[in-house]
Structure 1
Amino acid sequence: MKTSDLLLEQAKLLEPELIELRRDLHRHPELSFQESRTAGIVARFLQGLGLEVREQVGGFGVVADLRGASEGPTVALRADMDALPITEETGLDYASGNPGVMHACGHDIHTSVLLGAARLLASRKAELRGTVRFLFQSAEEILAGANTMIERGVMDGVDEIYGLHNLPFYPAGTIGLKSGVLMGSIDRLEIRVDGKGGHGGYPETCIDPIVAASAVVAGLQSAVSREAPPTKGVVVSIGTIHGGTANNIIPDFVELTGTVRNLDPEWRETMPETIERIVSRICEAYRCRGTVRYIRQVPPVWNDTDLTGRFAELADRMLGSGKRAEPVPMTYGEDFAEYLRFAKGCFFWLGSGPSENAEQAAGLHSPRFNPDEGCLAVGAALLAGVALDRLA
């Protein structure tokens, strides 16, 4: 039996410590680029393990290297640390004490999992032939933290990278894993519709941007339903509309923002032209002028086939048969994708839902999100296991 196969049993011995740590982080959530307390806890924990630690890397990011007994490849393991601007409604005795801020996406889970993996691996330093680099990242929720860390050299010399995200729709003790695209790209739309304002009682003297903007929202749906093949996994959603100051005044302009998701990198390249054409021509039909700012944010999360296959074998050994599902690609997004531009890697879903009716659990970004803490030991064992498997 490989040493990595024993890690789950050893990780379960750490479970009380990981639960206590996670609940402390949950009680004190911090928004993107504000994770000072969380980063301090992470840094002190890693220093206590004897690792080489760098702090305030790309905001409040923490980077630590565990160097093995001899030279070899560098394997990176990544977790994110930030919370969301959501008011918690779980009623837990360790619920958020920071009004209007909540770990509603489980980054407290991810941070605790990776700290658990660090403890497991530090005790096996002599078995490592290479370096494990631990990346604790700020600001994933605003898709900014990965690039700020990359700009500070965290991927220099990294050969492979692994990460996870909890998912309450899979029961704790299970994972979701597939090669190729796992999550879609994310891009941002900013649209402005300019007309001519005036009195609402005399619309014929105006050029109404609200009517045009309404047509734009409806028309953009054709970018998906009538232009994108169903197999490409394209989503265009408008999230905000702002225009006007009073009920009887037609405004000069309306501003809209939205999100564009793609599972296909090539199809993603066609979207700016498609959206620009639809917006500009609809606005022209209403005598308005439409302008689009298309902002690229993160590419799809794309798992390396070979590494994913190896990780699947490891997971099956550690968790047993029937504990691994192959998920349908999702149009969630993750700035873990930015690291994959510099090294091949693998990202997986860590089940964090109840053993029964997990599909009915409160989802990510819900104010009632309440993951099963049984996932902590599983995640720690898997991350430690893949590093040990690659470097032992």
Structure 2
Amino acid sequence: MTKPSLQLLLPAAKAIETELIALRRQLHQNPELSLEEAETSASAARLLTKLELEVKRNIGGHGIVADLAGGRPGPLIALRADMDALPIQEESNLPFASAIPGKMHACGHDAHTAILYGAAKLLSERKDMLAGSVRFIFQPAEEINAGAQAMIEEGVLVGVDEIYGLHNLPTLPVGKAATRHGALMGSVDRFEIIITGKGGHGAIPDQCVDPIVAASAVMLSLQTAVSREISPFEPVVVTVGSFHGGASYNVIPERAELTGTVRTFSRSVQDAMPSKLQRLISRTAEAHRCQAELRYTKMVPVLVNHDEQVRLVEEAIDLIQGAENRSEAAPVLAGEDFSNYLKHVPGCFFWLGSGPAMCADQANGLYHPQFLLNEECLPIGAALLAGIVLLRLGYANA
């Protein structure tokens, strides 16, 4: 396939824009949380089956794998989208807003599913141009950082040579895309801390061992793991997101519990954090006559793009959208379990602009109850994913 012919993909994708919008709105009205994506998966499977792809369901939960064989032998390229929603009450007032109380596609995974279906449709119509095959991965449970690993354990990457994915970004104007070499997104770890003391009446604290005071000291001491034990040139975040202890205003409880997250951009720093936190927590609690237990869970590694695959994505963006619409993405400490795929095969994850064409920096961000997605990004995303594959596997003129 000649490179200039990639420019024909965007008009082809715009020709199916109405279908992609309808699918996205159907999914948006019927959001399903992580591990609950049965109807979302069924909807995607029905559409993929109509494209005459080899479809396998219930991979790693409600995941789907759909394979497309090209006209000649060659590499196997995977494209991935996530499908799950969030436990957020929607406040967008859209005519197709969530019909399910307390659940919302506030991260745009409904759009990702529609985009990947669009890419599958574009590529199925051009399969004879491919010197290789394509695997479309519709992944569950990304929001709880469990879906990618579950699908990997069930063989989703067997035979895969490269993998690509995208995420919409409402603070990036529609029509734009952003890439980054190396680390793009942070690791994600979770911790739980249980502080145990001796309960009693709040009026006689000398007869108690107060876990609330100890937990408060622990929470403050955790910040020194970053400010005094990690190089200032290493991005690290330690956040306590919940603090629970006691049930009455005048009673010192037996225990207090903290939960939180650690984010880093370095595997060595990520590996070192559990022992640092254990030391700070146990000794601070001991100083307050309490006992402490740390439960530390590594969830996903740093998302590190591979240089060759980033260059391929950038070339596809330049040919389809124009180099003036591509920028360098800033690193963020938010996590993405796409990083698990990149541990096993080379690939690239990039941002797709989904914000208003003007003043995207004023758009509501991801996870916001009034999150809005500019649906013009749907055909663009489909064209870019299809273009990456055609640039990598194409051998005939469009």
Q: Same fold (TM over 0.5)?
A: yes
Task: Report the equivalent of 2:313.
Answer: 311
1: distance between equivalents of 2:387 and 2:28? Answer: 26
Amino acid at match of 1:224: V
Report the Cα distance in structure 2 between the residues aligned to 1:85 and 1:231, rounded to whole angstroms. 35
Q: Deviations over 1:294-317 (max 9, x none)?
A: 100000111001110121122112
Report the CA distance between 1:161 and its aligned residue.
0.2
SS of the residue 2:225 aligns to:
helix
The residue that corresponds to 1:273 in the other structure is 275
Verify: 1:217 aligned to 2:219, yes or no. Answer: yes
Which residue does the alignment assign to 2:183?
A: 181
Q: Separation in 2 of the partners of 1:231 and 1:376?
A: 37
Matched, 1:381 2:358: no
Provide structure 2 residue ranges, at least 5 long, that are not aligned to the other structure: none
Counterpart selection for 1:259 from 251, 257, 261: 261
Deviation digits for residues 159-212 of structure 1, max 9, x if unmatched? 000001111110011111011000000000110111111111000111100001
Q: Following TM superposition, by how much is the alpha carbon of 1:147 offset from its aligned partner in structure 2, in angstroms?
A: 1.1
- Residue 235 (structure 2) aligns with: 233
Question: What secondary structure is seen at the aligned counterpart in 1 of 2:115?
Answer: helix
Q: How does 1:57-68 map to 2 (within 5 A)?
A: 57-68=59-70
1:133 partner SS: strand
Letter in 1 for 2:204: Y
In structure 1, the residue matched to 2:112 is: 110
CA distance in 2, matches of 1:321, 1:175: 10
| One-letter identity of the residue aligned with 1:291 | E
Q: What are the superposed Cα offsets for residues 349-376 of structure 1, whole Å, 9 maximum, x if unpaired?
A: 1111111211111110000000111111
| 1:328 corresponds to | 330
Q: Shift of residue 142 of structure 1?
A: 0.6
Question: C-alpha separation between the residues in 1 aligned to 2:323 and 2:75?
Answer: 30
In 2, the alpha carbon distance for the partners of 1:349 and 1:389 equals 19
The structural deviation recorded for 1:65 is 0.2
Amino acid aligned to 2:87: P
Tell me by how many angstroms 1:218 deviates: 1.1
For residue 269 of structure 1, what is the amino acid of its counterpart? D
Alpha-carbon deviations, 1:234-293, whole Å to 9, x = none?
A: 000001111112111111111111000001112111111111111111111111112211
Q: How does 1:341-380 map to 2 (within 5 A)?
A: 341-380=343-382
- Counterpart for residue 152 of structure 2: 150
- The DSSP-based 3-state class of the residue aligned with 2:55 is strand
- One of 48, 51, 71 as aligned partner of 1:49: 51
Between the aligned residues of both structures, percent identity stands at 54
Amino acid corresponding to residue 284 of structure 1 in structure 2: E
Bigger mean CA deviation after superposition, 89-98 or 351-360: 351-360
Between the aligned partners of 1:355 and 1:39, the Cα distance in structure 2 is 31
Shift of 1:381: 0.5
In structure 2, do the counterparts of structure 1 residues 230 and 328 end up closer, same or farther at CA, with 3 Å as the change threshold? Answer: farther
SS at match of 1:21: helix
Counterpart of 1:196? Answer: 198
Residue 6 of structure 2 contacts residue 319 of structure 2 at CA under 8 Å; is this kept in 1? no
Query: Which of 75, 82, 87 does residue 84 from structure 2 map onto?
Result: 82
Name the aligned partner's letter for residue 123 of structure 2.
L
* Partner SS for 2:310: helix
Structure 1 SS opposite 2:114 = helix
Rounded Cα–Cα distance in structure 2 between residues aligned with 1:328 and 1:145: 25
The structure 2 residue matched to 1:91, chosen from 88, 93, 106, is 93
Q: Distance in 1 between matches of 2:320 and 2:173?
A: 16
Gap regions ≥5 residues in structure 1: none
2:339 to 326, 337, 341: 337
**Pairs aligned (count):** 392
In the TM superposition, residue 229 of structure 1 has moved relative to its aligned partner by: 2.3
Q: Give the SS at the match of 1:293.
A: strand
Q: Which stretch shifts more, 88-97 or 246-255? A: 246-255
**Which stretch of the first structure deviates more once superposed, 358-367 or 242-251?**
242-251
Q: Secondary structure at the match of 1:232?
A: coil
Structure 2: distance between partners of 1:265 and 1:251: 38
Q: Are 2:71 and 2:130, in contact at CA under 8 Å, matched by a contact in 1?
A: yes
For residue 5 of structure 1, report the CA deviation from its aligned partner.
2.5
Residue 366 of structure 1 aligns to a residue in which SS?
Answer: coil
Runs of 4 or more off by more than 6 Å in structure 1?
A: none
Q: Secondary structure in 2 aligned to 1:269?
A: helix
Partner of 1:296: 298
Letter in 1 for 2:363: A
Offset of residue 328 of structure 1: 1.6
CA contact (8 A) 2:317 2:326 kept: yes
The superposition leaves residues 65-111 of structure 1 with CA deviations (integer Å, 9 ceiling, x where unpaired) of 00011211100000000000000000000000011100000000100
3-state DSSP of counterpart to 2:324? coil
The root-mean-square deviation of aligned C-alpha atoms, in Å, is: 0.9
Q: Distance in 2 between matches of 1:181 and 1:381?
A: 25
Deviation at 1:324, TM superposition (A): 1.1
Which has the larger displacement, 278-287 or 181-190?
278-287
> 1:218-237 CA distances to partner (integer Å, 9 max, x unpaired)?
11111122222232210000
For normalisation by structure 2, the TM-score amounts to 0.97
- Aligned to 2:184, the other structure's residue is in SS state strand
> Whole-Å Cα distance in 2 between the matches of residues 90 and 156 of structure 1?
41
Question: Which region of structure 1 is more displaced relative to structure 2, 218-227 or 294-303?
Answer: 218-227
Letter paired with 2:51 = L
> In structure 1, how many angstroms separate the alpha carbons of the residues matched to 2:277 and 2:391?
46
